[in-house]
């Protein structure tokens, strides 16, 4: 599998018609660069679709996920453009669960 050392989440929505080059351009714009073994997550305006761009050290991978019911728990902020997630938070996010409540080691810190 692809090694992922760090997960970054972009707050602003991305047009889900974006291909690898457009998604990579957004990563560079929002995060400054695409680092090897980092994953960059984007959602659409309704937060029912997500794209993940991963740089594996040689090239990039672009994956998409769509929820048929509900939406991803995506932060809304005018002050932040990005944030990092732990592996446990990523696992919860892709399932559509409230990932912000999960701390390091799966410990729930906010109710």
pLDDT band at 102 (very low <50, low <70, confident <90, very high): confident
| pLDDT above 60: residue 105 | no
**Spatial distance between the Cα atoms of 93 and 91, rounded to a whole number of angstroms:** 6
pLDDT tens-digit readout, 30-83:
999 999 999 999 999 999 999 999 999 899 999 999 988 889 888 877 667 788
Residue 82's pLDDT is 84
CB neighbours of residue 54 within 10 Å: 21
Specify the pLDDT at position 108. Answer: 58
Give pLDDT, residue 74.
86
Per-residue pLDDT reduced to its tens digit, 11-33: 999 999 999 999 999 999 999 99
Give the list of residues 6+ apart from residue 68 with CB closer than 8 angstroms, or none: none
pTM beyond cutoff 0.85: no
The pLDDT assigned to 10 comes to 92
């Amino acid at each position: 599998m692809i090694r992922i050392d760090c997960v970054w989440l972009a707050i602003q929505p991305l047009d889900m018609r974006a291909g690898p080059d457009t998604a990579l351009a957004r990563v560079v714009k929002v995060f400054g660069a695409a680092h090897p073994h980092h994953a960059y997550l984007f959602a659409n305006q309704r937060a029912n679709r997500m794209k993940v761009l991963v740089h594996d050290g040689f090239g990039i991978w672009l994956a998409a996920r769509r929820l048929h019911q509900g939406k991803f728990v995506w932060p809304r902020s005018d002050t932040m453009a990005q944030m990092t997630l732990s592996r446990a938070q990523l696992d919860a996010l892709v399932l559509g669960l409230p990932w912000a409540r999960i701390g390091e080691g799966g410990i729930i810190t906010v109710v």
